[in-house]
Structure 1
């Protein structure tokens, strides 16, 4: 692996740099939640068309995750990370010309490029963390590393809340009362609000890529992995023929759809069910949810010392079914607070399903399995768009039935894994 060297002692700098990636993609993911509200206002979009922000973003994950896995197998973890950061940075810089031309399609393309970079980062960082210690604690270790992800998410929301949202939310009547010139100026101002934040993000990410490129990394080993796997197509056939792994794919697809859907439409839910709430005020609910998400990561990781991860996953999924259904039937502040609480119980789901999917596998299966699990992030595109369609046809409150059904799939996965556990994970 180019740029790495074997070492018997862990080096703090490479570990810090890898953990920082969880922060960086957390910020990118949750800035999308701000962009949905911002573009809905700037381009006068329906909920379905605004939800295409997530569709374009997670389509990038889906299409690029497998090439990222192949790239990682050929060139190694470090090279994949650097290439991913370069794509991330370029995508962020594309926001400037997209805003200048006021082209919604170009914004969607820029988000696709950013997501392509993040596919490289997630495909390489997640399995790498599971290898940095004993197999028995891999799930807990990945949960701990993922605990830094919501810090980036919170930073993304704060950036959007204070540097993108203008706080000016005109009603349809006010817009109709404006002259054509005034409306055009307003829409242009709202569109260009994303330029400087994304320019700074793009430059910072590219600088981080250079820092990682210049850093000497220890050689990753997989001595604790159960066994080696056959290469090429044999690995893929073995994975797709494994019911445990296929179950993890389905669970991850629906979990990501639930998470992205809840966060994408929290601001919309608050404004629709609590009339008079500005976008800046509504963003506080999303920020509170992300704080709960971060707290849940640390609490969940601690609980896994005493409770098997699969049991915790099952309990948290059951609670979230109840919370999202509560948001359906009690719109307004009670439902909004239920969605905030929902984030606490979503916290352990992604890393736990991911770790359960790759546990006990050889190095080739772990790398390819990681790419397939990252591909399931397409659930964020499919199910968020579905929520937007339900909202347009009915209401944003009733759209929360979609994540409720998604959490039911996660519950079923956890229940099945509890009945047929791998030794040490019952």
Structure 2
């Protein structure tokens, strides 16, 4: 009998707190990059070590996860439980934030990077547990939408993270403080570490299941077949897709401050609202894509497809109003949101179609940004947030489709590829030092080109396995 397309909200809501923190820290890195660049006199390539240290930690964490599981001869999360895995990951991240205190006191770039690396290690364990858990907290039909909704909460964190960190470093926009202070970084990260620990305790005693019954486990009755997740081509190609997707998403934002400073004349302290807009754009797209998770009627769902993105856009405007930033320059961006809405409707909920359409739009936006200047180019680059917004659940669901009992292993391999955020950011920084910051966005064009290819290729692969999207 087909299960109703329900979601266990009482369990899902506590879970999304960790998604919020991933976004808060990841987007805050984009403020740390220009601050560290100025304070430590770094090149653009060297400044991208911030992203590299943070995102490579995901791969190292995934490898450690596989090693520990091999020693235990059992999957680590299955051994300790999902709640314990999330709590342990939060405690590891909390330890990483403690390094910001001695790093700030000694003005050590190496210690700063070490702290971010340890925070990323904890996030790796959290991601390994949280993504399949989000899918499991309800029916499989709405699993992708729950992941998109969790991503929308993630991007609420990315929207306010740069504003809070920028305020901690520079004060209000009306202040005359334009000098980056390493000392002022340590307090917000120590507070963040305390919050990590408190949330770990909260999740430990929440109603989240320790070992949810994953639908794939129940459905997979095969005794023969592939012995490893790596024998599934949709996963192998999907791993590279996750690598370049996270890469273009992160590198577009992490190189945006340098573009605005070097070509548009902005001060570092004035860039935070644009970084907030970029990550807020992901929130806009993910709130749009998450509409199906609420089981609305057809008419209400269509209306929500128009209301949800503008509600998210209003959240962006509200938090920037609270931060005392000038809002009038952002109103025109509401027209860009319409492109997202019509693209989402054109995909008809098919993850492969959505991946293809949004990849083509991403290529177009990057080329527009490379060929123009002023606010047109800035909005072109920030719109990449819109077109990246729903790609994670699209790629994730396509890559693990049909994996059956190998779904958990496949999920870990996909988390490993989050390192693309650091590698591609560093690569774009390297290209920027050679050909200029604006033309360096050609790296992102290459990333979206592969995603467009994957959207076409995976349809054929899954069709051969009898999987109907």
Could you tell me the TM-score, scaled by structure 1's length? 0.87
Q: Is the aligned partner of 1:418 residue 2:459?
A: yes
2:106 alignment partner in structure 1: 101
1:295 alignment partner in structure 2: 284
Contact 2:7–2:139 (8 Å) recurs in 1: no
Structure 1 residues 79-131: Cα deviation after superposition (integer angstroms, max 9, x where no partner): 11011000111111210111011110011110110000000111110011122
Q: How does 1:59-208 map to 2 (within 5 A)?
A: 59-68=56-65, 70=69, 71-165=76-170, 190-208=181-199
Q: Structure 2 vs 1, CA of residues 214 and 141 (structure 1 numbering), >3 Å: closer, same or farther?
A: closer
Partners of 1:369 and 1:194 lie apart in 2 by 37
Q: How does 1:244-263 map to 2 (within 5 A)?
A: 244-263=234-253
Q: Which runs of 5+ in 2 are unaligned?
A: 1-5, 70-75, 292-343
2:51 alignment partner in structure 1: 54
Partners of 1:230 and 1:282 lie apart in 2 by 56
Contact 1:123–1:370 (8 Å) recurs in 2: yes
Which secondary structure does the structure 2 equivalent of 1:221 belong to? Answer: coil
Partners of 1:403 and 1:128 lie apart in 2 by 31
CA shift, 1:419, in A, is: 3.5
Q: Which runs of 5+ in 1 are unaligned?
A: 1-8, 171-185
CA shift, 1:51, in A, is: 0.3
1:335 alignment partner in structure 2: 377
Partners of 2:152 and 2:207 lie apart in 1 by 25
Q: Structure 2 vs 1, CA of residues 151 and 286 (structure 1 numbering), >3 Å: closer, same or farther?
A: same
Q: Structure 2 vs 1, CA of residues 310 and 273 (structure 1 numbering), >3 Å: closer, same or farther?
A: same
CA shift, 1:366, in A, is: 1.6
Q: Structure 2 vs 1, CA of residues 366 and 325 (structure 1 numbering), >3 Å: closer, same or farther?
A: same
Q: Structure 2 vs 1, CA of residues 119 and 62 (structure 1 numbering), >3 Å: closer, same or farther?
A: same
CA shift, 1:349, in A, is: 0.7
Could you tell me the TM-score, scaled by structure 2's length? 0.79
Q: Which moved more, 1:205-214 or 1:243-252?
A: 205-214
Which secondary structure does the structure 1 equivalent of 2:181 belong to? Answer: helix
Q: Is the aligned partner of 1:279 residue 2:321?
A: no
Q: Is the aligned partner of 1:227 residue 2:217?
A: no
Contact 2:128–2:412 (8 Å) recurs in 1: yes
Contact 2:25–2:161 (8 Å) recurs in 1: yes
Q: Aligned to 1:36, which of 14, 33, 36?
A: 33
Partners of 1:65 and 1:168 lie apart in 2 by 44
Q: Structure 2 vs 1, CA of residues 343 and 230 (structure 1 numbering), >3 Å: closer, same or farther?
A: farther
Q: Is the aligned partner of 1:346 residue 2:388?
A: yes
CA shift, 1:425, in A, is: 4.7
Number of residue pairs the alignment of both structures matches: 396
1:311 alignment partner in structure 2: 353
Contact 2:14–2:203 (8 Å) recurs in 1: yes
CA RMSD of aligned residues (A): 2.3
Q: Is the aligned partner of 1:23 residue 2:16?
A: no
CA shift, 1:253, in A, is: 0.6
